[in-house]
Structure 1
C-alpha cells in the first residue's frame, strides 16, 4: 500500500484514539519548564505583543541571537533568525523557500518522516544517503554525497541527532560534510531539534561552527521536544540573510507569523536552565535503559541504542511480517501506537520507532504488553496466525 494508505490504515494522525501513543512525548509526565507558564501569561496580558513582523518580534530575535550564538559556538545575528509555527513550520517554509521543482536534494535515510513528503510536494528529485549504525560511530555514507556532486545538488538535508534512530554524528563526519558542501557549492539544512537531548558525555558538533558554513548551512531549532513546548508552536530558523528573506516571504503567505504570544517564551530558552535540562536528561535516560532491557527480551529483536533523542528504532525485520503489520499488532494487542519504519525511508522498513518519554508506571505496563505481543509475532503466533 502507499504511504498515505498505510498511515490511514493505522490511523497515524496524531490523535491517539484512546491508545497509548508513543509517536510523541508525554507532556503530562514531562511538562514545560515552570517559567514557560508565567512567560505566556505575561505575553497574553500585553495586547501590544499580539502582532509582530513576519519573521518575529525584534526584541525576541535579538535576545535569541545572543543565546543561540553561545549554544552553537558560532556568532549569530538577529538578521539571521526567523521564528516559525513550530519546527515543522520551519522545515516547510525553509524548503519552500529554497527548493524548486526538479531540484536535486540529498536526504539521509532513514530520517524525519515529513522531509521526503514535503520534498515530493515541492516536486524535488530526492536521492537518499544511507545512515550506517554498524560501525564504532554512526555515520552517513559520504561517498554517496560525493557521487552526486557532479550533478550539483541543491541541498543536503538531515536531522541531528537523527530522527528516528537518535544517532549523534562524530565531529569528523560533520567536518567532512562541511568540506563537501563548500567544494560542491551546495547548501545543507540540518534539523537540530533534539540537539539539547544528548546523553552522557557524547559531544554534539554543530555544523554551523565548521569552517565555511556560516553562509551555507540552515539550522532548525526549537523548544518543542526537550522542553515539551510542542503545544506552543514555535520554531527557529538560523540561516544566511538571503535565506531568511525568502523564509520571511513564505511565512507572510502561509501564516503571517509564528504565534506572537508564544514567541515570548523564547526569552528564557537556552539560558539559566541547566538544572532543568540535566534532570530531564537523567529521567529520560533511566526510562531509556528500562525500555532497552524490556525489549531485549524479545527473540529476534535488534536494538542499536544511540546517544540522542527519546526514541528507539527497533529492528523487527526477522519476524517475517512488515512493519505495518507489527504496528497494527501492537495497536490491537498491546494498545500501543508506534511509528512504523516505512515512514522514515526505505532503510526504515522492518523497524518501528517508539518514544519512551512516558510516565514510568504506565510505561512499565505498556512494555509488558509489547513484549508479549512482539514475542508472539517473533514465534509466528501473533494476530496474523502461524
Structure 2
C-alpha cells in the first residue's frame, strides 16, 4: 500500500518511481493498494501518474478515492474503492460484518461529491496553493527547512536542535501557542520534524506558522 500524493509530505511519485513499484508488484505477484485521496488537490504544473497507466494489471490494483481530504470531509468516513470484482466483493463482505453500511446522511454527502459545481475544485486548489506558498516563505525566513508539497494540505518542517525533546515541544506548541501539530515520529524515524495541516483558513494558518517560528526561536539551543 502506498499513498500518492504522499501523506505526510505532499510529494508526488514520479513516473519512474511508479514504474519501479509496478516492477516489484509483478515480480512478487502482489496486489497494490493505491491511496489517491489527495490526487485531485494537485498543484499547478505538477503531473500525476496512476499505477494502472504504468502497466500493472487491473486484478493487481485497488484504488482508493474519496472526499475526506480534498473536500475536508474526514468526519464523514467516506471513501470509494475501485478494483478487480473478486477483491471488491470480498471488501464489501468485510464491510458488512464490521460496520454494516455508511449512514444515510453520509451517503447523501457522497452524492453531492459526484455533483460538485464546475470550477469548484480548481478554485480550491488555487486557495490551497496560496496558503502553501505563504507558509513556505515563513518557514524559510525562520530557517526551518520544509519540502515544497506538490499536492495535499500538509507541511513537514524540520526543526533545529532544541532545548526540549520533540514530544515536549509539541505539547508546548499546544499549551503556549495554541497550535496542534503531529510529531514526525508518528510517520517514521523523524525525531526533528513536525507535520501540520494548513487547510481552510489562510489567515489563521499564517498566524499559526509565525507562532511556530517564534516558539522555535524561544527553545532553540
Q: Bigger shift: 290-299 or 271-280?
A: 271-280
Q: Give the secondary-structure state (helix, strand or coil) at the position aligned to 2:58.
A: coil
Rounded Cα–Cα distance in structure 2 between residues aligned with 1:215 and 1:317:
46
Let me know the Cα RMSD of the aligned residues. 1.9
Pairing 1:248–2:59 present: no
Which of 190, 196, 216 lines up with 2:40 in the alignment? 196
User: What per-residue deviation string (whole Å, max 9, x for no partner) do you get for residues 47-104 of structure 1?
Assistant: xxxxxxxxxxxxxxxxxxxxxxxxxxxxxxxxxxxxxxxxxxxxxxxxxxxxxxxxxx
**What is the number of equivalent residue pairs in this alignment?**
221
The two structures have a TM-score, normalised by structure 2, of 0.91
Rounded Cα–Cα distance in structure 2 between residues aligned with 1:168 and 1:320:
34
Distance 1:217 1:281, change over 3 A: same
Equivalent pair of 1:313/1:352 in contact (CA under 8 Å) = yes
Distance 1:208 1:265, change over 3 A: farther
Equivalent pair of 1:219/1:238 in contact (CA under 8 Å) = yes
Q: Give the secondary-structure state (helix, strand or coil) at the position aligned to 1:319.
A: coil
The two structures have a TM-score, normalised by structure 1, of 0.54
**Is there any run of 5+ residues in structure 2 with no aligned partner, and where?**
none
Pairing 1:324–2:167 present: yes
Pairing 1:362–2:174 present: no
Deviation of 1:266 (Å): 3.4
Q: Give the secondary-structure state (helix, strand or coil) at the position aligned to 1:215.
A: helix
Rounded Cα–Cα distance in structure 2 between residues aligned with 1:167 and 1:241:
30
User: What per-residue deviation string (whole Å, max 9, x for no partner) do you get for residues 110-154 of structure 1?
Assistant: xxxxxxxxxxxxxxxxxxxxxxxxxxxxxxxxxxxxxxxxxxxxx
Q: Give the secondary-structure state (helix, strand or coil) at the position aligned to 2:32.
A: strand
Deviation of 1:161 (Å): 0.7
Rounded Cα–Cα distance in structure 2 between residues aligned with 1:205 and 1:271:
25
Q: What is aligned with 1:305?
A: 148
Pairing 1:375–2:217 present: yes
Q: What is aligned with 1:344?
A: 187
Distance 1:243 1:349, change over 3 A: farther
Alignment of 1:1-386 (within 5 A): 157-269=1-113, 273-299=117-143, 301-316=144-159, 318-319=161-162, 321-346=164-189, 348-378=190-220, 380=221
Q: Based on CA coordinates, which of the two structures has the bigger radius of gyration?
A: 1
Rounded Cα–Cα distance in structure 1 between residues aligned with 2:75 and 2:39:
19
Equivalent pair of 1:159/1:190 in contact (CA under 8 Å) = yes
